[in-house]
Structure 1
């Protein structure tokens, strides 16, 4: 349930009688057992159980009371039951019961503050665990005997079988006839009723106590007459090295505290109700221990809390220079040896302040400004520093990247727009790769396209300009006039050049025998072999040239050699057909003297290298046949022989 008494409390209270030897004012019934001097188990975690603990001395309801207990409702939510109740009654000290009535049902006259951990639909229970104030042994929330509630034990919490101890405070105001119920410092229920006149038949003398019960489900259910040590510090207390610390006792007890024991963690031990203002020897973390004893002779567990006595901050910040045009970012660099940061206050002069840790300075003009930082630790320790911050003008620049044709250099030029600022460094970044450190420079790209270029300047004060981003354009027309070709005399030839770009200007030369010398797809009808030159100009002024050779034959016709020598000397090594005026080949086949097919062409560009099945064919005479369709659509064929010479 609770930890055993610490060695400290045992030593301090060695002269106090053991709790078992003290005459206790309670009478126990059923499953109830005493666990320690001030703590009782009402039910163990077992079925069909009920226990009650009654104070043998009656109290008068004509007198106000304020009782504080600690309650424990078990660790099982869905399968735990049934609950406990604080009860005022006049029937005696041997009452109790099991099941959903929690030892309260049927006790009349009575007042019960019931903590119900089981959902009984027949008693109008809400789905969540709940607390209520009821009278005369009636636990049904739909009955008129339900004075207040049901409500959650803690706001927003459905389950109170959470394996935790909770402070349970009951205050009766005899003058106002008012009950107020708190749980862990939260006011949960309030009701106004004249208990003496309306419940107890004008008899003000009542017994009080706790009852609890289980039935088909169970939980460990306990309560303690509160003996809960706790301390706080005075409002506004700072916990800093060399500063006196004042403690405030905030303990919760059922009775009166009769003795205290304090161990302040630095070797100082005190038995007064409150320590005098105490100054710790140095900054650091100290474990403060506190034990209390009440007027029944019960001794609390030992409260242990760590108190941090903070060291004084060493405020500082960076940088000591800022550049207009960039965010004027200041960064806190305060050091705190013991403790943690709490808050910051910046003063920039002229009534301008900030409270963020890393603020933006409000300066708008170059100059040197005193900036003050007041740093406060979480322990309340405050220190201040003032540093001069220099603010400089950042340079402003402009830049251009001239257009270039492939093979030319791209001229990169930068312009200084703030003559009053001394620029000491220029930096060009070309195509996210090359870096050049000059104001004006050039760069040669190896391919056409668009390339990212950026330039930035830095002043002698270390302030950088805003980067200027450009796009360098390099034009590559990538001209290809077309492949050399053969045609028949009188056969029209449509040009198909390839070029990159828009709004290109074409010029063919010579212009004679061309349908349009300025058209990229001009039609040529040369009457003899002709070398054509194509000149192309881009709108940017780039010029490229290329040539193609047109050989003119009488035709349409197939021209086939009569012999070839495939010896790889580069001369007459290939057997192929020249077909001016024949754009479409039907077939071109070669047979040996025995009629076996040796080679077959798939297109006019194919050739025979003198091999058969990957091996050199024998020297000798071979028969060939070729068929195709000329440019007029006429199909025709030729045949003949060729001599392979080895």
Structure 2
């Protein structure tokens, strides 16, 4: 037996569980149902029979046991103080928690238990040979333990799985007025069912009890039955330890450096405790030391019980270190928009913060460890994290230094437009990178560049409404712009010049043409070019000298006060010209005037046949149409003229005289 106990110590009771509370007063989840005289007496103790004849009782517990897992049930059993008393108790496993009882007296409430699979450890305190019906029981003379099934208490039947064994290793009588410690142990992997009485293994039964006894059902329930007959004894049990109940304290969570005094591993019958590691443990040799830890630590407790058996338990004390940090949803927003911050960290914690160093506020992080904080933004918003606190015990509070800022800005949409001759240009003085549009859209063919704001294909003199929208805040501004009007001018008349000496060189004053084409005093001829692309001087009174035989085209650029330009042209026609011999001023468009336009006449004087001066004109070209100085028509006849030239004429010299005939007859 000693060797079996050593094996049990090394292989069976080395249990791993999470920080169990081993106090005998911690089975609050036991849910008993009583039959007959059984009752609860407190402190996890239950009376099965009273010290009366023909007394009986059963206590059944609606707490399922999973036989695919190990279990321990440790209790103190009291079998009475009458050494000649009777009859005993049984520990029973069955497939339902129904509150039932079998035959009392020598049947101990187990015999003929209502029909269902069952397994019973009998603690028989009286020798019975036969039942009242004559069935052989064959009890030994000593108080004994045995393993029975199917509600049968006979030790000579197939239902006797373990033959009677003396209950106490030291005495044949357990009705000694003392409590005796009983351990009921099941090891699923080894499929062994063991009973230990007063630290002595009484038997160990190995079998597939799930299939052999309980017909494949791995869930069973436990209870106790007991009875007296003509002889009596008080009988009760007091639980010390039930492994499968939730009589555990959870792994602890503590603040760094704060003491934990809620772990109590007291185990009835323990003779020594040893915690490892010892760092942070006030006394590593007691069941309920005070733990003070700065970092998460797993402690192992080795318990040595009164039987010299050891078992191990583990408990982790997690040091709570809640954290939180803050980020922005957008680093910048526009004035009047919402500044959004996201705080992330330890789930289900409370985070304290302030905005722009204002009043302290709090927010709870949800199960995913996130919360959003929003504030209206009229200027830049800075959130400062202050602390984070666990929202449940131990309520650890950790100081924080996290910060995040949302910049708030107002985008200036200001810009100006500069009118042009065929459109307009834009210049942004506010926030760059926006979009230009017409507002409203014009009905003509004008177009606007959305990036630069340049207006093209505009209608001269038309007004347009241009809108600029900033890139981020979408602020807008509208500017009206009127395109410069087009240049107005008169078409220049072609000029006919005389090549008086046949060398092809003729000249004329360009200012005369300028006066003809300009329509107002603010415009000017800014450029003039001949056929060869040579710029022609337009400065008065300079004259243009033509060297192209037969003449050429002169191109004029007319510019208004806005810098807008237009182009027109006229032709110089050069002929071999001579002074006319007569004129016929009848309005038919032919020889109506005395044409000296190509000769550079400084002064023209006309005399009648009597030598009287009738007409004179300075800088003459084509002004005389046969009239006198006072405007009267001169009669048909021959008149004498005298010409002085501005420059000496190659043909006629400085002066020239001759006769001209006025013919007023109709053609």
TM-score range, shorter chain: 0.3 to 0.5
Larger Rg: 2
